[in-house]
Amino acid sequence: MNLEVMLRAFIAEYGERALALLKAIIEESREGGNFKLGDFSVKGLRARLKMMGVEYNPVPLLLKLEKEIGAIETTYRSTTQRWWKVLDKKLVQEILGEYEEGEKEDEDPKVKLLRIQYLSLNPHETLETLNKLTAKNNLTQMEKRKLREIAFKELPLLIKILEEIKENNLEEALKEEVETIEKIMIYAEKAAEINSKQKTAANQKYNVDELKLNIENIDR
């Protein structure tokens, strides 16, 4: 029996747990992998699953993937950690992609509409921009203009989408979108605070300079 057939049988047997595990493995191998140790560790995988809202011990299913299916293999093991590598990442991604597409075809039209509206606003680009702004102590004039543009043009639309998601109880179906919008709001508020502090500091400097000038004029 080939790997593809065995992986599909694995998903059929364990359902959502299997899909969540395979998705977490691929994401962890992409973002948390270690060149020397392997694609993913038990610790990293547990944390990844928790971020996805899934909490269970993945080890039994990992051992099944390794010993019975041959989709992963141990690359490093010690008393404190264990690492695996994925033997055919492309195949796993293709199978996951099929299931995700199938889920989208069955989606509520309202979910599809809200996702289209959300994606049309390039939210990940906005999040990246705000993340960069919050790492600074002072904003340039160009950065201030960009912040105003986000605050007055993009945020109201994103908030409208978020409100519609919540009004229609679609938080679970659009979980990733909700999390991204909420992150954007947090970063936008931080960037606005930096801008506000910068203005306050500039005004204080102006007032001090004006006071010095007045004192000098009196002395004369």
* Structural tokens at position 2: 């080939």
Does the predicted model carry a pTM greater than 0.85? Answer: no
Handedness of CA 154, 155, 161, 164 (dihedral sign): negative
Closest to 174 in 3D by CA, of 123, 105, 120, 118: 118
pLDDT tens, N- to C-terminus, the chain (220 residues): 589 989 989 988 888 899 999 999 998 888 766 778 899 999 999 988 888 878 889 999 999 999 999 999 999 999 888 999 999 999 999 988 887 776 655 567 888 889 889 888 888 889 889 988 998 888 899 999 999 999 999 999 999 999 999 999 999 888 888 988 999 999 999 999 988 887 654 455 444 455 444 545 545 5
Domain boundaries of the chain, sorted by first residue: 3-101, 107-219
Distances (CA, A) of 3 to 13, 93, 99: 15, 13, 17
User: Domain 3-101 has what CATH class?
Assistant: mainly alpha
And the tokens for 93? Answer: 């991604």
Q: Are 162 and 170 in contact (CB under 8 A)?
A: no
Distance CA 74, CA 71 (A): 11
